Amino acid sequence: MPKHITHLRWNIGAWIYHLSAVLLALGLLLFSAPQGRADDKRASNKHPLSFGQDQTIIDLQHVGWEPLSGEGVPPGAEFALLRGNLVAGGGEALIRFPANYTFPNYSHTSDELYIWLQGAFTYIVDDGTATELSGQAYISLPGGAPRTLRCGPEPCVFYARYSRPFHYTIHPMPARKN
């Protein structure tokens, strides 16, 4: 066999061998990586993406919810910590209430910022005045302002930001005015 054909056959064989190794490695990488399953933890609050200091990227469809529990808090509420530390202060979280859930009359030592994202709800202030809101609202409150939150017929989700430590007090429910 001529030398140039033998050399060509070796080059094609080596090329096929290396190509097979590359394809095998790609196949293992693609099939072992998460493929959008429910347990996919990419860009979640448990595994946020960051491309530099003080940068946080979270896909809100992949947050891990935990029970929101405490003295006087009825079961069913959940939260997903997004950033910071609620106890130490400077915390940000998503909070979710089931349909027809009432969070009791309460206040925080910290000022609060809410951005209501989903679900119609009723906001009840300490004197019993109730305001029905459509499900998308901005609420900014100083520390110590008592209120009740009552979720409507579908689950409610809102973003909450606390600039100081998160300490709460449950107050007696006010008589509703309207």
Domain residues of the chain, as ranges?
1-33, 65-170
Task: Give me the pLDDT at residue 15, please.
Answer: 40
Cβ neighbourhood burial of 96 (10 Å; 0-12, 13-18, 19+): buried
Q: Indicate if the alpha-carbon torsion angle 39, 43, 45, 50 is positive or negative.
A: positive
R_g of the chain, CA atoms, integer Å:
27
Please give the mean pLDDT across all residues of the chain: 80
pLDDT in tens, 102-161: 999 999 999 999 999 999 999 999 999 999 999 899 999 999 999 999 999 999 999 999
Task: Give me the pLDDT at residue 2, please.
Answer: 53
The gap between the terminal CA atoms of the chain, to the nearest Å, is 99
The alpha-helical segments, DSSP class H, found in the chain are 3-32
**Whole-angstrom Cα distance, residue 158 to residue 152?**
13
What architecture (CATH level 2) is domain 65-170?
Sandwich (2.60)
Give the best-scoring range by mean pLDDT among 26-35, 56-65, 98-107: 98-107
Residue type, 150: R
Task: Give me the pLDDT at residue 146, please.
Answer: 95
172 has a pLDDT exceeding 90: yes
Task: Give me the pLDDT at residue 47, please.
Answer: 87
What percent of the chain is modeled with pLDDT above 70? 76
Task: Give me the pLDDT at residue 67, please.
Answer: 97
Bridge partners for 140 per DSSP: 113
